Structure 1
Amino acid sequence: MKKTLLLLTLLVFLSTTNGQEQYLNKDFGFEAVIPKEWSVYKETPAPTSNYMIIAWGMPKLYSEMEKEEIENSVSITCIKSPNIKDAEDLAEKDYKRVSGFAQKIHRQKADSSEILAYYTSSIIKMKSYVTKQYFIHRNGIGYIINFTATPGTFTTNQPKFEEFFKTVKIE
């Protein structure tokens, strides 16, 4: 009993000192480790839905290029649909969705041998964005893991996003 309590205390301490929190979504079968300094932006909708998104805001940083403080976002979108066959299909449907409201969009496949990934540049409401996206399809669920930034903040926060991505586990 004392060993179990000591181990539990140690795990809580390590979790706290690492400045991270575990996010678990049983309805869509995934989990991730979230840095405590990230804030939850939105989580939708109810568990009975075939769609959900959770988005986090990274700490703001000043961009010399944009001459303002920028809050980059990280999100995980999950879609249960018999109309999505695989990760390529999921990526194409997402590209068409974004193309519907972006004034300009360009997509380039990222070097990733195991997981389908793209870099997307877009202009939305006269602002430029760069997005790194991972597309995964498992057990009838499509997962889109996004990092969106401005051109002036992308290279600063992309390594933090990649560290986050390594913690994402999908059943």
Structure 2
Amino acid sequence: MAQRFIPLLFGLILIAGFASAQTIFRNEAFGFEGERPAEWREKKQAFSKEGIKGTTVAFALPKVYSELEKTSISNVISITALKGDSIQSVEKLKAFEFARIKNIMHEKKGMKCEFGEAYVIESEMNGLVYKAMTVFVFQNGFGYVLTFNATPGTFEKNLPKFNAFLGKLEFPASLI
């Protein structure tokens, strides 16, 4: 009888392992690497503008239902890495990002964060309201804008995933 349950137990362990599978990502050009759940969809985009080179890696999280918005929503976590003569400190990095989003930003509140300077930002775009947590890091000559973008109804649900993601993000000098 016990022998019949061993394949079942093995199968459940295997499924649990796949469900918690992590994917390693790395960007050697901009010196960052980390881990993300395998089910997060990834999109990359490089850009160059006004003497600043950059890349954005965005991860779409699985949909969660929002009671407030009465629909299922996929939040996004992104890393934007920037390099340029005009971004040489965390203050200049923040000024660059806040200038970029000034037309949609309604409110920003500074907060403590172990990963860098952080803000909760409320914005509106195309009639939709968003709530984001943005963390600014300047390290190894690069500026990093780490953002979790959600709706007011999904922000608290996925914020722990963003914090866990930040805990697995590294900026090793050896990549540069």
Q: Classify the TM-score, shorter chain.
A: 0.7 to 0.9
Q: TM-score, normalised by structure 1?
A: 0.83
Larger radius of gyration: 2
Gaps spanning 5+ residues in structure 1: where? 1-14
Cα offset for 1:150?
Answer: 0.1
Aligned residue for 2:111? 110
Aligned residue in 2 for 1:31 = 33
Could you tell me the TM-score, scaled by structure 2's length?
0.81
Q: Distance in 1 between matches of 2:142 and 2:115?
A: 18
For the aligned residue pairs, the C-alpha RMSD in angstroms reads 2.0
Q: Secondary structure at the match of 1:169?
A: coil
Contact 1:129/1:149 (8 A) holds in 2:
yes
Matches within 5 A, 1:1-171: 18-40=20-42, 42-45=43-46, 50-100=53-103, 102=104, 104-112=105-113, 115-171=116-172
For residues 104-136 of structure 1, the C-alpha deviation after alignment (integer angstroms, 9 at most, x for no partner) is: 521110112661111101111111111111111
Q: CA deviation at 1:45?
A: 2.0
Runs in 1 of length 4+ with deviation above 4 angstroms?
A: none
Report if aligned partners of 2:23, 2:38 keep a CA contact under 8 Å in 1: yes
Distance in 2 between the 1:114 and 1:130 partners?
A: 19
**Structure 1 SS opposite 2:101:** helix
